[in-house]
Structures are given as C-alpha cells and as structure tokens.
Amino acid sequence: MSIRRIQASARFCEVSVHNGVAYFAGQVPETTVAQNAYAQTKEVLELIDNLLAEIGSHKSRILNAQIFLANMQDYAELNQAWDEWVDRANPPSRATVEAKLADPRWKVEIVISAAV
Amino acid sequence: MSIRRIQASARFCEVSVHNGVAYFAGQVPETTVAQNAYAQTKEVLELIDNLLAEIGSHKSRILNAQIFLANMQDYAELNQAWDEWVDRANPPSRATVEAKLADPRWKVEIVISAAV
Amino acid sequence: MSIRRIQASARFCEVSVHNGVAYFAGQVPETTVAQNAYAQTKEVLELIDNLLAEIGSHKSRILNAQIFLANMQDYAELNQAWDEWVDRANPPSRATVEAKLADPRWKVEIVISAAV
C-alpha cells in the first residue's frame, strides 16, 4: 500500500499518509516564537488545521495528540488555546509531558495522527 | 471510516478507535498518587486493562507502549509492576524515557495503542 | 487480525506488526555506548534497518520517527547521521525532543513506525 508524503524535505516530511491514517511531524511555532505559550499553541494548532486540510482531513478526525511542553507551568495556557480549538464533540486522545525542545524559543510541540 | 471515542470530555477522550486500532490517552494514577512508582504503575496498568475491556480488546493485543517516568530512578519499580502484568507470550514494543508530568505527584504515565 | 511480534522477550518485543503497520520499540545503542551522538545514531539507524529487513520493510517505508536526545546539544550530530541515512525521496515525519534515557550512556533513542 502506497505512502503519500506531504511537504517533504530531504530530512523529513510534515505528514505521511498510509492506509487511511496520517502521521504528523512535530508541529512547532514559526511566527510566534517570541510570544507566550497560548499564542504559540494557537499557531501550532493552525498549522495542524492547514495540514489536515491539505490531506482532506479535519480536526474532528484527529486520533491522538502527543504534546510536549518546554515548561509544564504553561499547561494552563496550552489548555486555553486547546479548548478554544478542539472539536468538543470529537476530541482525540491526548498525552502531555514536559520536554526541552530543539529551539529554546519554542514552548510547545504537538504531534498528532489523524484519520483521512 | 468512522472513529469511536471512549470516555470523551470536551478536552480529550481516553481512547479513539479507528480501523481496528485503539489510540489511548496517557494513563496516569488516580487513587495511588501518594504511593510509590510500583503502586502507581500497577494502578495505571489496571486503568489500561479496564479501557481495553471497554473496547473489546485485551493486554495480549497491545501494539506498543510509550512510558514516561518522572524520575528514571523508578525504572526498576516500573519494570516490577510491568513484568507482573504483561502478557509474557504477547508483549508489546516499548520505549521508556524520563519526562516531568502534568501533576508533580505522578511518577508514571503510559500511552499505548492496541489492536481491537 | 493477527499480531506478529519480532524478537520478543518476556518484557517487550522489538517490533509488533498489525494490519500492515509495524510499531517499533525504542532503539538504543548497543556497541557504541562509549561513543558520541553521531556514532550512536548511526548504530541505532543500522539496528532499525536490520529490524525493517526482518519484517520485509525498508527505510523508504517508514511512516514516522520519534527521536529522544539525552542532550539537545547533540541535535547537529543526530542530523548528520540521519541525513546520511534517510531515504531523501521518502523521508518520514519526525519529532525530536530532549529526554533523559534509561541508561545514562545512551545519547539517543529512536521509535519508528513503518508500513510493511
């Protein structure tokens, strides 16, 4: 069964799609790196929305989310942006842990998989 | 293909089931938060057993486990509870790393996926 | 649908295969534990190649990679080994975070899933 790869560079792709499931790269802030965790999370979720649209899926079809926070003290800000965004009738499973991220300005990184 | 969501709140669900695979939320201790990593792991694995039963699956059908320990010094206690519990004829793949968790009392969080 | 388990011990297996998807255990260095992150990553990627071959898959069929670095300062060395190894026409999605690993000598642990 074939694999579709979205926005592939030589190092990684943003999404792999195989057998009706999409496996996302860790999404991180791009334009909001100087802002707080709420703003960064909002941007990351918009990036996810855009990628979901590109593969013909939607946030109501997300299966799970692995969230990495650079500082667990940002948990409330993460949840504020998440709760404003998530499809409340179709929320994914979720896990959130603290981990230092590749760029010290990043406060949040989110990895999802979704049904396509 | 439809997605079934188990124990969904407005924020997340405990399990998403899609195309024969179940994607679990991070399971954490509830009643054993004041106890050691062995007791917490035992409780987390019981929570997993209960969710597996609710979706008609079983620990022999777990595909993989991602384990987060708040302190890697609890690795032996984790393994003690795990080894007493795991289906030795059908063990999942596994990865264990250290990460600070959302509640400072939690010593362990486990994320699994399973065949249904 | 049946689950195939590769190199299973009583505690975990190296790979579970179900419905055309392989779920790997965290791969860690074995013979290079005294060497730098570049050498350790090279070995880990060889271990992944070997397991992929054992299940009839290939690095061009990897869906996603979750990379844990014990020290994010090794990010450049990780990428050097990764870039030499990855199938540039078929790269997986990827996420990299810092996490303390089970053995203090390990600088990198990689968890992948792959199409079979």
Whether residue A73 lies within 8 A of chain B, CB to CB, comes out as no
> Does C90 have pLDDT greater than 90?
yes
Q: What is the pLDDT of residue C1?
A: 85
The per-residue pLDDT for A46 is 98
What pLDDT does A106 receive? 98
Taking the C-alpha atoms of residue A26 and residue B97, their distance in angstroms, rounded to an integer, is 18
pLDDT band at C39 (very low <50, low <70, confident <90, very high): very high
- Please determine, for residue A17, whether its predicted confidence score (pLDDT) is greater than 90: yes
User: Which of C64, C77, C74 minimizes the C-alpha distance to C97?
Assistant: C74
> What integer best gives the mean pLDDT of chain C?
98
DSSP annotation of C27 reads B
Question: Touching check for A115 and chain B: CB below 8 Å?
Answer: yes
C58 touches chain A (CB under 8 A): no
Burial track B47-71 (b if 16+ CB lie within 10 A, e otherwise): bbeebbeebebebbbbbbbbbbbbe
- Indicate the DSSP class of residue A95: E
Class of domain C24-115: alpha beta
CB contacts of C44 in chain B (<8 Å) are none
- Do residues A114 and A24 lie in contact, with contact meaning Cβ atoms separated by under 8 Å? yes
3-class SS letters over A35-83: CCHHHHHHHHHHHHHHHHHHCCCCHHHEEEEEEEECCHHHHHHHHHHHH
Residue of B nearest to A73 (CA): B102
Tell the residue number behind the tokens 């999409």, with chain if given: A22
Q: Which chains touch A (3 or more CB pairs under 8 A)?
A: B, C
What is the pLDDT at residue C95?
A: 98
CB-based contact, A98 to chain B, within 8 Å = yes
The yes-or-no verdict on residue B1 having pLDDT over 90 is: no
Measured in angstroms, the CA of A108 and the nearest CA of chain B are apart by 14
Asked if A59 and A21 touch (Cβ cutoff 8 Å), the reply is no
Give the model's pLDDT for residue B55: 98
Summarize the confidence of residues C33-56 as an average pLDDT. Answer: 98
- Search chain C and give the residue with CA nearest B98: C100
Query: In which band, very low, low, confident or very high, does the pLDDT at A7 lie, cut at 50, 70 and 90?
Result: very high
pLDDT at C15: 98
B43-98 pLDDT tens trace = 999 999 999 999 999 999 999 999 999 999 999 999 999 999 999 999 999 999 99
Q: Does A14 touch chain C (CB under 8 A)?
A: yes
How do residues B71-86 score in pLDDT, each as one tens digit?
999 999 999 999 999 9
Could you tell me which CATH class the domain A25-115 is placed in?
alpha beta
Mean pLDDT, chain B, integer: 98
Kind plus residue range of the DSSP H or E element containing C75? helix C75-85
Most C-contacting residue of A12, A27, A52 (CB-CB within 10 A), to test interface: A12
pLDDT in tens, A98-107: 999 999 999 9
Look at residue A43 and tell me whether its pLDDT is greater than 90: yes
With contacts defined as CB-CB under 8 Å, which chain B residues touch C9? 91
The residues spanned by each domain of chain A are: 25-115
**CATH class, range B26-115:** alpha beta
pTM: 0.98
* Axis crossing angle, helix C37-54 with helix C75-85, rounded to the nearest 10: 40
